[in-house]
Amino acid sequence: GESVGLHLPTLSVQEGDNSIINCAYSNSASDYFIWYKQESGKGPQFIIDIRSNMDKRQGQRVTVLLNKTVKHLSLQIAATQPGDSAVYFCAEINQAGTALIFGKGTTLSVSS
């Protein structure tokens, strides 16, 4: 069945380091992926998305990499700041193309 998972439930980094959050997906036909950030007490917020015809997409301080060969997605955050501390979710489009399937989330903790 469809499933989206993250390799690590938690990640701790020092302020200023680069962070890499990983995600594995199971549906090789998925053509759309998205990353969300959820801060404590808030709903998830969109970070960046990518379609399967791309390998890489960059935003402000964030980069998403897509490796379709091994069905792997990663989110890279440059110069991580304390404000980046949150739970990060990856999601992929379902087989019907109608809804997103979310992973279990990775909690990023940034220490000063």
Partner 1 sequence: DVKVTQSSRYLVKRTGEKVFLECVQDMDHENMFWYRQDPGLGLRLIYFSYDVKMKEKGDIPEGYSVSREKKERFSLILESASTNQTSMYLCASSQGLAGGRETQYFGPGTRLLVL
- Interface ranges with partner 1 (CB under 8 A): 9, 31-32, 34, 36, 41-46, 49, 51, 89, 91, 93-94, 96-105
To partner 1, the closest distance from the beta carbon of 91 in angstroms equals 8
Give the tokens for residue 62.
Answer: 């964030």
Q: Choose between 7 and 15: whose C-beta lies nearer to partner 1.
A: 7
To partner 1, the closest distance from the beta carbon of 89 in angstroms equals 6
Tell the burial category of 110 from Cβ atoms under 10 Å away from its Cβ (0-12, 13-18, 19+): buried
Q: Choose between 90 and 110: whose C-beta lies nearer to partner 1.
A: 90
The C-alpha angle with vertex 3 and arms to 107 and 40, in degrees rounded to 5, equals: 25
To partner 1, the closest distance from the beta carbon of 35 in angstroms equals 11
Q: Choose between 44 and 64: whose C-beta lies nearer to partner 1.
A: 44
Q: Where are the beta strands (DSSP E) in the chain?
A: 4-6, 10-14, 19-25, 32-38, 45-51, 56-58, 62-67, 72-77, 86-93, 100-102, 106-111
To partner 1, the closest distance from the beta carbon of 70 in angstroms equals 21
